[in-house]
Amino acid sequence: MTRGLGGGSLRITAGAVHQSPVEVWAGPECTVNRVGDRYFDQLEMSGHARRVEDLEAFAALGVRTLRYPILWERIAPDRPADADWSWSDERLARLRGLGIAPIVGLVHHGSGPRYTSLIDPGFADGLAAFAGAVARRYPWVDRWTPVNEPLTTARFSGLYGHWYPHGSDALTFARALLHQCRGIVLAMRAIRAVNSAAQLVQTDDLGKTYSTRALAYQADFENERRWLSFDLLCGRVDRAHPMWDFLTGVGVAEGDVGWFLQNPCPPDVIGINYYATSERFLDPRCERYPVGNRGGNWREPYADVEAALVRASGLAGVYGLLGEAWERYHLPLAVTESHLGCSRDEQLRWLLEAWDAAQARRREGVDVRAVTAWALLGSYDWDRLLTAPHGYYEPGAFDVRAPSPRRTALAALIADLAAGREPDHPVLATPGWWRRPSRLRYPAIRRHADEPAPTRRFHPRKRWARPLAITGARGTLGRAFARICEVRGLPHLALSRQDLDIAKPESVAAVLDRLQPWAVVNAAGYVRVDDAEGEPAACFRENRDGPIVLAAACAARGIQLVTFSTDLVFDGGRRLPYVESDAVAPLGVYGSSKAQAERRVLERMPSALVVRTSAFFGPWDEYNFVSLALRALATGGTFVAAADQVVSPTYVPDLVDGSLDLLIDGERGIWHLANRGARSWAEFARGAAELAGLDPGGVEARPTASLGLVARRPPYSALGSERGWILPSLDDALGRYLRECEVEWMGDRSGAARSLILEGSTSIPSPGNGQLDPDARLSATRAETR
């Protein structure tokens, strides 16, 4: 049938919804964006550019369709005539051999090679020429995404000024968008000249904007604009279209807008990319929100915040947006990016909810073809919107911080969905943070009377929530686990010595049988290193015998176990960081108790996870080394620290988050977890002082022998890892420690009368810790012209 669309027309096939099951697609994050004269290449940062063997790992997940980059900027960076096809030849041949169908992408948040740009009138013709060359070389490829997210890229490059050509006005935005969309039309024309059956899988970020009643006009504008790339391609933007006056009003020639009416190129599949930050809320009460969220339009200032953090009724989500897209276009749909930069449990919940929402819509008659597990190899620096490199990494189905990409729990979930198996990871029993009441960071805003209510709501599946059992409830580590499990939505029970004596088999058996936990975190233990020299029996009972009992009981019941060891299992006889396979040689009772525990736990339970760590500091313990040092220096005193012991200080929140992620991933054996950056104790204190604005000269460095310690310490016990560095740098951790402890100064900074107030933070951990909204993918303040 022929369906008129706003003055244009196109042919689409009517009939019953496609009957094949919803598929699992996947893809690596592959952005190549330009900032100034520098290109940021996710394929290089993740290492995929150098590892063709990744494709076998992708195939092992069971996916048979892969969004895959053959990017203009990478293939022909200097001149079109100098294209180098060696990379794409090898990889597309490998994909074909593996039985994986690629959806080939040509530009992904880019502006093309240096000889063009998004505001170059020749951009579209240049892209079409490149597309034709790719199609002629690989004529068997039948699905294409010439430009990923043209609307989002136009906003970031033409309106917000983040990416090249760094425009910050409506005309540059409009030109960037129209040039990309025109490029898509011409690229598909060139591709179809080679393969007439080639299909367009057109993607864009699809969010939704809400507002107070006073800003409804701005929300209406943004909710119309979100469809603009699809409407242009479908030939819908005529004089009656709400965006016609906007585009021509900012300076675009009518003929450039009208060109799409005569040259429609409707997508064969509309791809919805959806993130936690895709839905926004606009509020004129700027004082309620951080400065970074404040912006405005030509008429008035307002704050632009993530809707999940303020809207009492929550998000439309994938379910709601699939419904809206179907009602608008009645074209096949797919979720073409589903990724959350967060803790592992939240990543699993996010992907499963997208899958469940797609399945629900399919049952209602919506033609949903697939859900795409995006960023298989993770992504870098999206927390700063790819404007500057600083190494912030969000893992995906694989974690590339290991010597070779390491499968995470996401990989197992993808494999389950692809094989039609029911996912059963225990963390999936809890809804994601975006659905829990604790998500509301700001005063809750209820839907105003003029805002239409959704006709249908999506209700996530309900499961029985098995708890996580945490021993050592009163210790620093046990309290930290309980606190972070609460934030991460992990049902847990924190057990004290009175609740559970880990060294008594009958006590352990009774508690495990009653609670039926899916895993045990053993945070109990004897921690007084010097006292252990005089109390070896007590030390070995808690540090060796207790973990052995737990391991035997957990192994018998199929319960996962993580327990903790120390850098003091080493003697310090080397000057390079120790890795997991290095031989242990403890110098004292405490280290010996831990070394024996490691060996005997893994003998009884090879699937146990044993985490070696070092030198705790954190925001919830006022007696840790950093707190004591800063408190002494802030009052004008001195602080004595060892100059000849080199350690790897470890920020407790990072340790807990990292341990939980590894536990959820099902990792086993010995892992080293510490923040990157080996320091002597004196260097550590001085570094903390400098970051806090204190005089590091107040730190008095002394030899360990002069400190009167009973137990011998290794002169060097820094930890490295041959399995993967998964914790941030020490400097990053110290910076977060100072912020999360709410450091405040009183009095004259330059004199001796200074004081430092250190209060344990009770707020939700910062985005850098992967809790509420680390996926700051679209959270730039928007100063837009209507």
CB atoms within 10 A of CB 416: 19
* Prior bond of 165 cis (ω within 30°): yes
DSSP designation for 279: E
Dihedral pair phi/psi, residue 34, rounded to 5°: -115, 135
Dihedral pair phi/psi, residue 492, rounded to 5°: -150, 160
Q: Which helix (H) or strand (E) holds 182?
A: helix 170-194
- Model confidence pLDDT, tens digit, residues 154-174: 999 999 999 999 999 999 999
Residue type for position 577:
P
Q: Which of 262, 437, 223, 460 is nearest to 353 (CA)?
A: 460
Low-confidence stretches of the chain (pLDDT < 50) are 1-17, 743-786
Contacts of 43 (CB under 8 A, 6+ apart): 28, 30, 32, 49, 69, 74
CA distance 5 to 9: 6
Beta strands 669-672 and 699-702 are: unpaired
CA distance 478 to 672: 19
DSSP designation for 208: E
Dihedral pair phi/psi, residue 644, rounded to 5°: -120, 20
What angle (nearest 5°) sits at the alpha carbon of residue 490, between those of residues 663 and 495? 85
Q: Tokens in use for 46?
A: 């993740």
**Are 770 and 732 contacting, i.e. CB atoms less than 8 angstroms apart?**
no
Q: Tokens in use for 704?
A: 């360990």
Contacts of 158 (CB under 8 A, 6+ apart): 118, 119, 165, 167, 168, 169, 172, 173, 174, 175, 176, 177
**Are 478 and 494 contacting, i.e. CB atoms less than 8 angstroms apart?**
yes
- Model confidence pLDDT, tens digit, residues 226-236: 999 999 999 99
Beta strands 269-274 and 333-338 are: parallel
Q: Which of 174, 152, 154, 166 is nearest to 250 (CA)?
A: 174
Dihedral pair phi/psi, residue 356, rounded to 5°: -65, -40
Q: Which residue has the tokens 């790719």?
A: 134
Dihedral pair phi/psi, residue 755, rounded to 5°: -135, 150
Q: Tokens in use for 15?
A: 């009939």
What are the angstrom distances between the C-alpha of 7 and each of 231, 259, 737?
Answer: 12, 12, 59
Look at residue 464 in the predicted model and tell me its pLDDT.
75
- 3-class DSSP state of 135: helix
Report the sign of the C-alpha dihedral through residues 447, 451, 454, 458, in that order.
negative
pTM: 0.91
Contacts of 706 (CB under 8 A, 6+ apart): none
Q: Tokens in use for 192?
A: 């179809």
pLDDT-above-90 percentage for the chain: 87
Q: Which of 466, 594, 579 is nearest to 524 (CA)?
A: 594
Q: Which of 591, 730, 554 is nearest to 647 (CA)?
A: 730
Look at residue 215 in the predicted model and tell me its pLDDT.
96
Look at residue 465 in the predicted model and tell me its pLDDT.
86
CA distance 736 to 766: 8
* Prior bond of 301 cis (ω within 30°): no
End-to-end CA distance of the chain: 36
What are the angstrom distances between the C-alpha of 321 and each of 328, 400, 785?
Answer: 11, 32, 25
Q: Tokens in use for 332?
A: 């096949």
* Residues carrying an active site annotation: 590
Look at residue 19 in the predicted model and tell me its pLDDT.
59
CA distance 514 to 493: 12
Contacts of 86 (CB under 8 A, 6+ apart): none
- Dihedral class, residue 656 (left if φ above 0, else alpha if ψ from -120 to 50, else beta): alpha
Q: Which residue has the tokens 């972070």?
A: 484
CB atoms within 10 A of CB 489: 20
**Are 726 and 739 contacting, i.e. CB atoms less than 8 angstroms apart?**
no
CA distance 670 to 676: 18
CA distance 564 to 577: 19
DSSP designation for 542: I
